[in-house]
Structure 1
Amino acid sequence: MNASPRLFYTREDSARAHREWKASCGHHSIAAAAGVSLASVHAKMQEEWLKKRRGWMSPSMLEYLLKELGVKVQRTYGLRTRELRNGICRVQFEGPWIGVGKAVAEGYKYTHYVAVRDGWVLCTVATPHHWVPEGVWRPAIGRFANTEPATGWHVTHWYEFEPLT
């Protein structure tokens, strides 16, 4: 396996970004996959997002930030797979909030973004400040996804792209 990809932020940057503006898995995944700092992601956020300090990110917010950073993305959605692709993957945790008769928006509360690059994964559930091999990440996300009331996980979106740096 190749050496882990370079990160353009530190553990301290990650903690500060979370504390000051609620940087979440989406922000970390963008920075890691695009090869930019968390400060660069923050600088592209719309003022209304900053005021609300939500700490979560919708697919449209993620796409907006990637576009603002100048990232050319190939998006595939509507998936139900465990295959990871280089760029960012949107993970849906499975449970009673998804399925027939459930509002799609209910499942949004149980989603997660991970950055992926050549067999390495950056995941805030595992650790927000360094890449881990996919083989280490899969059991970690599996343990997290199988905590009551979650029953598993799958990837719903691939945002495939090459890093800017």
Structure 2
Amino acid sequence: MTLPYTKAESDTAHREWKAMCGHHSIAAASGRPLEAVRRSGIKLCGWMNPTMVSQCLSGLGVSAILHKLPTVKMNSDELLLEPYYHPRRVMRVQFHGPWMKGPPTVQYRYTHYIACLEEAIMDPLLDTNVLLRMEDWILWACSAYRAEIDECEGFSFTHAWNVQSLQ
């Protein structure tokens, strides 16, 4: 399985129009190049919220079903079950920490997007050009998120966009 962009394209998109985790995850899950994400009509501000992800997928002509998920820490085995498991999806990660006691606007500052493709995950926090087997990603994420994000106590998924069509 390959990603629809190269490392050079990823680096250029990040430098020129602030492509971040959401942009890369949408490109990977939809099979569209980063340039198509840029032209999808969404605001390019270096971050994305759930509404922007839905608008971007729509702007790309990608049919996706959005599942809003409870913000609770989960067992990693749950990733293999619906609605978490789907052959192609964008997942919104909520990092847990002291900010979870604050309003949603504070909690949203501690979020992230990943792309799940068949049995692999592209996590931009690791590298926008690397696919890890799901089992390897779970091991990596459980330690790396805590190490990379100050005061991170774990994570959950709050949204899953299950890509239905790549047309």
| TM-score when normalising by structure 1 | 0.86
Amino acid at match of 1:96: P
Matched residue of 1:98: which SS?
A: helix
Displacement of 1:45 in angstroms is 3.1
- Partner of residue 104, structure 1: 104
Task: Indicate the percent of aligned positions where both proteins have the same amino acid.
Answer: 33
Query: How many aligned residue pairs are there?
Result: 154
Displacement of 1:163 in angstroms is 5.3
- Partner of residue 117, structure 2: 117
Q: 2: CA distance between counterparts of 1:139 and 1:55? A: 28
Q: 2: CA distance between counterparts of 1:163 and 1:41? A: 16
RMSD of equivalent CA atoms: 1.6
Amino acid at match of 2:9: D
Q: Deviations over 1:88-142 (max 9, x none)?
A: 111100000013xx20111111101111022100110121013211122112221
Q: Would you say the 8 A contact 1:71–1:161 is kept in 2?
A: yes
Amino acid at match of 2:166: L
- Partner of residue 144, structure 1: 144
Q: Would you say the 8 A contact 1:26–1:113 is kept in 2?
A: yes
Q: Would you say the 8 A contact 1:75–1:160 is kept in 2?
A: yes
Structure 2: tracts of 5 or more residues without a match: none
Matched residue of 2:29: which SS?
A: helix
Q: 1: CA distance between counterparts of 2:69 and 2:117? A: 22
Counterparts of 1:1-165 in structure 2, within 5 Å, are 5-46=1-42, 49-50=43-44, 54-79=45-70, 80=72, 81=74, 82=76, 83=79, 84-86=84-86, 87-99=89-101, 102-147=102-147, 148-162=150-164, 164=166
Matched residue of 1:159: which SS?
A: strand
| TM-score when normalising by structure 2 | 0.85
Amino acid at match of 1:88: V
Q: Would you say the 8 A contact 1:72–1:161 is kept in 2?
A: yes
Q: 2: CA distance between counterparts of 1:159 and 1:26? A: 12
Structure 1 residues 163 and 126: CA distance shift in structure 2, 3 A: farther
Q: 2: CA distance between counterparts of 1:121 and 1:134? A: 6
Q: 1: CA distance between counterparts of 2:66 and 2:52? A: 14
Q: Would you say the 8 A contact 1:125–1:141 is kept in 2?
A: no
Q: 1: CA distance between counterparts of 2:165 and 2:16? A: 26
Deviant stretches of 4+, over 3 Å? none
Tell which deviates more after alignment, 104-113 or 134-143: 134-143
